[in-house]
Structure 1
Amino acid sequence: MHAPPPGARVAVPLSLPADLAPPPGGLDVEASGLAMGVTWTLKAVTLPGLGPEVLARTVQGRLDAVVAEMSPWELSSHISAFNRAPAGAWLDLPEGFAQVMTCALEMARLGQGAFDPTIGALTDLWGFGPAGPVEAPPTPELIEAALARAGWERLAFEAQPRRLRQPGGLALDLSGIAKGFGVDQAARALLALGVRHFLLEVGGELRGEGLKPDGLPWWVELERLEGEVEGQSPVVLALCGLSVATSGDYRRYIIHEGRRLAHTLDPRTGRPSERGVACVNVLGPEAMRADAWCTLLSVVGAEEGLALCAAHGIPARFMVHTKKGLEERLSPAFQALLDD
């Protein structure tokens, strides 16, 4: 996007670094690839010697490393090894895995179980995991059995020396946080190369640093959804040192008896969340935390979610199903970013 469309509301960071200008003679490059079951794209301003091939290898390598650690679709991954481990076994974790577990358990405590990284059995049961899709929702008995195997409080995690204990039958699912972590890891690798101006997108999660070659921000328009109430002007983000994560009930779901059951499961009930949230966008300096917040807020709904956002200073935008259509709800921190 070259510029925000007429009438758009623009969300800009409250503070910017002083030395923000793109480098003189910088090269405008693009790269893309496949990882984590999604596509990724990169737009960057770089210096000679850091062309698209180098940047593509850098991003792909970091994303592939996250997959090797945290994808339950990979039988050789660390998460798969943990999920297969016998009761009482301790698994040594790579540094990245330990960082994700630290954040995931913090979010589980904050959300009082509305975010839970231990619902792998439930994810499979509903057809959203490696076991593949299902034709109909599981029975209440199967849901109760899967819930009995889950529970973040059953985990024993030691940040040092980075290890996790399998209590028996528990299956981790980090899909609500790992993609955001992958974005952060790739962004850190680019910054370490000296690439300070880029926009990275991985399956709908974005991270922007610096400016475009023309000296303007990386403009990102939040997705417009079918059924939005008329008169709601579009929102455009100026991503500069910021990430945005999105969770929506329209992305992955099953249809049963005319009802759309979204992939966001409420760990407290074992069923898809039915709090009327069509979409949540969360901004933050870390894509990992923004990703986790999106998952949590989609589960608890707009009313409880806005209270949590107000208490913790989280910039979030909800699109909520109402009788009139999809209506917007903004947290105070998100409203503060809008350029009126």
Structure 2
Amino acid sequence: MRLSFLRPVMVVTSVAALAGCWFSDETLETFMGPTMGSTYTIKYVRAAGAPDVVKAQAEVEAILAEVDLQMSTYRSDSLIEGFNQAAAGCQPMPEPVLELVRYGEQLARRSEGAFDLTIEPLLNLWGFGPQSRGQRIPSADGLTAVRAEYGYQRLQVRDGQLCKDRDGIQVDFNSIAAGYTVDRIAARLQQLGVSSYLVEVTGELKAEGRKPDGSPWRIAIEAPQSEGRVAQQIIQLDGLGVSTSGDYRNYFEQDGQRYSHTLDPRRAAPINHKLAAVTVLDNSAMQADGLSTVLMVLGPEQGLAFAEAEKIAALFVVRDENGFVSHSTAAFDALFPTQGEQP
């Protein structure tokens, strides 16, 4: 079964090695599987009262199945796809869907339209959406026409219902659903008595606590290169979600021009600045997920200014004539004071 939200950039991976040996009743458990067009991985410390792997995996996969049924744009029977295909009006929706729409509207307003949950028609037109017909540069007439088919202002939550004010408005949760799913899984593990875990879903990640030997969860932020995976920085996590957005894997080229899968809703076109990747850390993986998209659209100058003003912990990797240069915000430096700006 093809699942919901294919993440074009697998940006954060766990550092798997465990340091040394230890003597403890706690054990490190791991399980993984396919989801959202990619994979998920769960690592958790099983102490007294915590569930075994069979129980934990069943709980995790129940959440993944629920998210897929509610929010997938790759299955015609999902709740959001039913809404997308319906005429203008309102439909009852479960609270998780409404929660994501509310957060999407908040991000859209904060970023003055750099974030927009309704750009699926634009994604399809450029060849990056679930109903696309191949990657290509749209015609001027096509771009003019598609501007009438999206806009976050056309989507509202009213009395427990999701409403759109014109036919053709479609919702795509690709930019926040994986982070939301990470938060849901982390919360469920805590309810089950797990206090130390690393949850990763299609590259979005959250970690809390420590491993049985007392060492922290360490993750690698991937360097922005199209071939292979190389760690740019390794950081320690405890209670934070991590999301990276980048333009270096999912794109197409035509006549020597590179067209990124990250689209700017304000311009109805792919981003065309020098920001290669941005990593965001936040207590909420969903918020980190959405904010990394916002900053990627805004670019190196506007994005950095926005992140500083909003006190976002972010690491920007920008192309220059010598390769790449990294810039971090004050909030990022406060979390990782030895990182700073790097060549």
User: Which of the five TM-score ranges fits, normalised by the shorter chain?
Assistant: 0.7 to 0.9
Distance 2:254 2:194 in 1: 47
Conservation of the 8 A alpha-carbon contact between 1:253 and 1:260: yes
Aligned CA RMSD, in angstroms, stands at 2.2
Conservation of the 8 A alpha-carbon contact between 1:44 and 1:195: yes
Distance 2:37 2:225 in 1: 25
Cα deviation for residue 3 of structure 1 reads 7.6
Residue identity opposite 2:122 in structure 1: L
Range that drifts further, 304-313 or 290-299: 304-313
Aligned to 2:265: 267
Aligned to 1:61: 62
Aligned to 1:107: 107
Residues 25-36 of structure 1 mapped to structure 2, 5 A cutoff: 25-36=25-36
Distance 2:202 2:95 in 1: 24
Q: How many residues align?
A: 317
Distance 1:38 1:146 in 2: 29
Distance 2:285 2:129 in 1: 22
> Can you list the C-alpha shifts for 1:22-71, whole angstroms capped at 9, x where unaligned?
99512211000111111011111013662222221122211221111111
Distance 1:313 1:224 in 2: 24
Distance 2:136 2:148 in 1: 21
Cα deviation for residue 177 of structure 1 reads 0.9
Conservation of the 8 A alpha-carbon contact between 2:73 and 2:172: yes
Gaps of at least 5 residues in structure 1 are 5-21, 228-232
Give secondary structure in 1 for the equivalent of 2:178.
helix
Identity %: 36
> Can you list the C-alpha shifts for 1:85-138, whole angstroms capped at 9, x where unaligned?
112x20111111111111100000001000011101011111111124514221
> Can you list the C-alpha shifts for 1:124-183, whole angstroms capped at 9, x where unaligned?
11111112451422112112211111111122322x424333522111111111111111
Aligned to 1:90: 90
Give secondary structure in 2 for the equivalent of 1:73.
coil
Aligned to 2:223: 224
Aligned to 2:136: 136
Distance 1:250 1:45 in 2: 34
Conservation of the 8 A alpha-carbon contact between 1:36 and 1:64: no
Cα deviation for residue 327 of structure 1 reads 1.0
Q: Structure 1 residues 52, 251: CA separation in 2 closer, same or farther (over 3 Å shift)? A: farther
Aligned to 1:302: 300
Q: Structure 1 residues 133, 276: CA separation in 2 closer, same or farther (over 3 Å shift)? A: farther
Give secondary structure in 1 for the equivalent of 2:312.
coil
> Can you list the C-alpha shifts for 1:173-207, whole angstroms capped at 9, x where unaligned?
11111111111111111111111111111111111
Aligned to 1:240: 238
What is the TM-score when the length of structure 1 is the normalising length?
Answer: 0.88
Q: Structure 1 residues 164, 24: CA separation in 2 closer, same or farther (over 3 Å shift)? A: farther
Distance 1:23 1:138 in 2: 62
Q: Structure 1 residues 86, 133: CA separation in 2 closer, same or farther (over 3 Å shift)? A: closer
Cα deviation for residue 275 of structure 1 reads 1.9
Q: Structure 1 residues 154, 165: CA separation in 2 closer, same or farther (over 3 Å shift)? A: closer
Residues 1-340 of structure 1 mapped to structure 2, 5 A cutoff: 1=15, 25-47=25-47, 50-87=51-88, 89-132=89-132, 134-158=134-158, 160-226=159-225, 234-340=232-338
Give secondary structure in 2 for the equivalent of 1:222.
strand
Gaps of at least 5 residues in structure 2 are 1-14, 339-343
Give secondary structure in 2 for the equivalent of 1:246.
strand
Distance 1:188 1:194 in 2: 10
Distance 2:98 2:301 in 1: 32
